Structure 1
């Protein structure tokens, strides 16, 4: 019925009220080739899209695959083998730092039903590019670094517009702890994790970013690839045993088992060709979901981006030369139709992961057109210990950064200058080889030093760091343990709230970092200092807000909030209005972040049934979480519903709810 309705209305369905039902979006996208992002736009923007599309469209077929997994599992080696690299090239493979984007490196060969590595050519500027055919079907791969420090930048690319390849090292037992030197876990939230923990982490991440609990919605395609399947290396008798072992790692109850499928599970050996796996990639990439029809003007902008990438990394909006015809809908309303048209186009390419653009003050004058360059700039400053080599700097500055996450601006300049110097040497050698004049490489667009302010502003907007005058705070690098003075402060206080708990079905580890970054930018929120140093820790952050101490902390499955009046020797009542104002601000940030995921990140508000005296901050809530619904009707003393027999105790619901808006 829906299909007939879509076929009858064609593009006009985008202006019909039916589009408000998200359950029909996948059907519309597949039948009409309309990008899914456009279907989530407001009415006026969709009207403009229809008007542009009616003037002419260009069909593009472009699939994207994300290769994820633990460090040294064989992700990069897998990609090199698909490209047909020699044994020597494969032996020289190094651990991926951050994220490597391999843009349209394969063409889908329909005759052989296989992948064909696309040839590279050098243009007049000696820049390598892929050969382009407008009607070709292409495949891009993203190779995600497995080290813990790099997970912060994954949020930029984990998307529903891709299929996923989860790589598992079959030579490792799932209950075996990962070598902390391999993943640089020491002191991080991943400390002590096993190979099984990482597998579950990736499935949860994929489901959170891209999955859906709605039966009518498109589910992410997930392939699992077990490497090192050679006899004598693998820890499992056969494929079925490994699949069962992976299922045993999943939390119960769980809907993650839907991603462990026999037909999408491949066990590979170095000596055996990858024909079956390659065929699977081909079949997935041929699916109609990757086929889109976009307005021709938008397609011309993609060509403009590809051309300008050779000599620019950040493009001013005023420099966009793609001509957009005016929109009747806009002109009738007296709006600046060209400006609106550009915003629609930039919004699409931002959502598609082709550019970074935000229509906000301070950022809306330019866009980053080379995402790999931006990712590289960030990964250079979040290198783990394995990759921090050859960069000059004061040892004390390095120690402070690696422990607290505070990166001195002088050290940042040295890090980026070191990368620029290496690029300069490489360009100098290429210029000598191709007999190009020396001056051509001195102001290359890839140099980071010319773009420091813009790069930092974009990174702050994405919640990756907080820009400061002398130092910048990079939360994913913070491994600082909390001083005993902090919980002692809470313990001694006679005026404090209960701990409000936000329990998540799955909590991406960087989510708390983004919350801290947002709070640090709030007006009247100042980072509290303990013994003269900022009270920012790997799992907690303390702020001073109009005389109140606000304590934010994180566990594997929850974010926790408590408000304390720190004045000594005096019993002061907390101001309910002020505590609820702080609660509302924190929750607005949480809801804003949670709503940006493909499937809204779900969390439940509640309390821990009683305080853990040993761990006042970041308390374990396993077996102790009471949702607000559990105590909504009661307003006084009651037996804890979680402990009616063993460890029986009472709770005072009035005190739990006293300072919060419940």
Structure 2
């Protein structure tokens, strides 16, 4: 890892030192050791507006560190067949950004027989190996296995063009499509013609649009929206969670709704990143239906910090607040929450979070627990009780962990019972 603080021309040495001190204070205790080890003193403060001798020296030092890092003998190396190495060289000499599997096969057949990859099965292993090592993108899913993205930076830039702010969009989005772009910038609901406009200056993105959007969907960067009026590709639209700026208001009053306890996953880092992908996962992979808002500005209950779903005849809220991903199941009274359904929902979401964080470095990425209040995404609710602590309580009730003046009694079995099978203590 590297930490590089830029644009420091008019910043004093003391201010830079204070910045780094604040940075390390903000790092959670459990992450400080591995982060320090990963950095190994690769912390830099450089000016970029004025490219003076001091800045040039620091930039040279950064370049040298990068070279040393990737040429150390201790770095992990992978052994591959010579035919794979030749195929890799052939792919990257051509400078292609993305290729179909048929095009890759044709390139392979141009090699001498003894150096060709011999079968489709071996070709899949070759592509998967280079995907696993971060060299290209290739998935064996039905919609994706016929193409590979060879330039990951090019792919990332395609997404950065989609989520650009108003200062970095092109003329089309500022003029003829200004209403569509403003709507997208507020709600995250992206129309196909806005994608075409944002990528207009780089036609290669439009050539590979179908593959790019499929890969972004696979990586939970966006999710297709169902459209009853869509009759062609040009009528398609997507939801991009990180662009949504609509504010969520928790309007689930106890006199109208039966509310489950609030299940929480408190993250040490990257909570918002996981939340965005979790929303796409629920909409795309789990196929949960987003509730209808009825709002004149948008018909779907998609918000910056929450999504409301209709699933299995229950209402499900998934939200984020204070580095916690929270979830709650509700029913309109006099209907009661079916605890088999809420347990199933909790299991789906826990599996999803574990899958979305399986590549994270380190342990204790998140801690599972519960809130003792009923208002989801309430920033003033600082209560949080670990599941492991609550499960040890051998009585029906316990004192909550709210602030002293707001403390009350928690029904342990009711809190746990919405999310897991509870043993009754006698």
TM-score range, shorter chain: 0.7 to 0.9
Output the TM-score relative to the length of structure 1: 0.54
In the alignment, which residue of structure 1 is the partner of 2:89? Answer: 303
2:2 to 147, 160, 165: 165
Query: Is the Cα contact below 8 Å between 2:2 and 2:39 reproduced in 1?
Result: no
**Cα distance between partner residues in 1 of 2:122 and 2:38:** 43
Distance 1:530 1:622 in 2: 25
CA displacement at 1:476 relative to structure 2: 1.2
> Equivalents in 2 of 1:496, 1:238: separation in Å?
48
Partner Cα distance (1:319, 1:283) in 2: 33
Does the 8 A contact of 1:552 with 1:561 survive in 2? yes
How far did 1:528 drift?
Answer: 0.3
The reply to whether residue 368 of structure 1 matches residue 127 of structure 2 is no
The equivalent residue for 2:399 is: 639
Q: Is the contact made by 1:481 and 1:537 (CA closer than 8 Å) also made in structure 2?
A: yes
- Secondary structure (helix, strand or coil) at the match of 2:238 reads strand
Report if the CA contact (8 A) 2:2-2:43 is conserved. Answer: no
Does the alignment pair 1:396 with 2:179?
yes
Match of 1:628 among 362, 384, 387: 387
1:602 to 353, 365, 370: 365
Cα distance change of structure 1 residues 490 and 596 upon mapping to structure 2, 3 Å threshold: farther
- The one-character-per-residue Cα deviations of 1:371-396 (angstroms, maximum 9, x if unpaired) are 23322322221111220231244332
Change (3 A) 1:601 1:460: farther
The structure 1 residue matched to 2:13, chosen from 236, 248, 256, is 236
Structure 2 gap segments, 5+ residues each: 231-235, 422-426
Structure 1 portions without partners, runs of 5+: 1-163, 170-226, 327-335, 421-446
Partner of 1:592: 355
**1:456 match:** 213
Structure exhibiting the larger radius of gyration computed from Cα positions: 1
Structure 2: distance between partners of 1:243 and 1:524? 43
- 1:378 maps to 2:159: yes
Q: Distance in 2 between matches of 1:308 and 1:416?
A: 23
d(CA) in 2 for partners of 1:645, 1:262 = 43
**Residues 412-437 of structure 1 deviation map (CA, whole Å, 9 limit, x = unaligned):** 223323443xxxxxxxxxxxxxxxxx
- The answer (yes or no) to whether the contact 1:493–1:564 under 8 Å persists in 2 is no
Give the superposition deviation at 1:553: 0.2
Tell me if 1:465 matches 2:219: no
* Correspondence list, 1:200-599, <5 A: 228=8, 233-237=10-14, 243-252=20-29, 255=32, 258=36, 263-268=41-46, 270-272=52-54, 273-274=56-57, 276-288=61-73, 289=75, 291-310=77-96, 313-317=98-102, 319-320=104-105, 321-322=107-108, 338-392=119-173, 393-420=176-203, 447-468=204-225, 469=230, 470-482=236-248, 484=249, 487-522=250-285, 525-531=288-294, 533-566=299-332, 570-599=333-362
Partners of 1:238 and 1:415 lie apart in 2 by 39
| Native 8 Å contact 1:608 1:626 kept in 2 | yes
Shift of 1:462: 0.8
The 2-side partners of 1:396 and 1:266 are apart by: 42
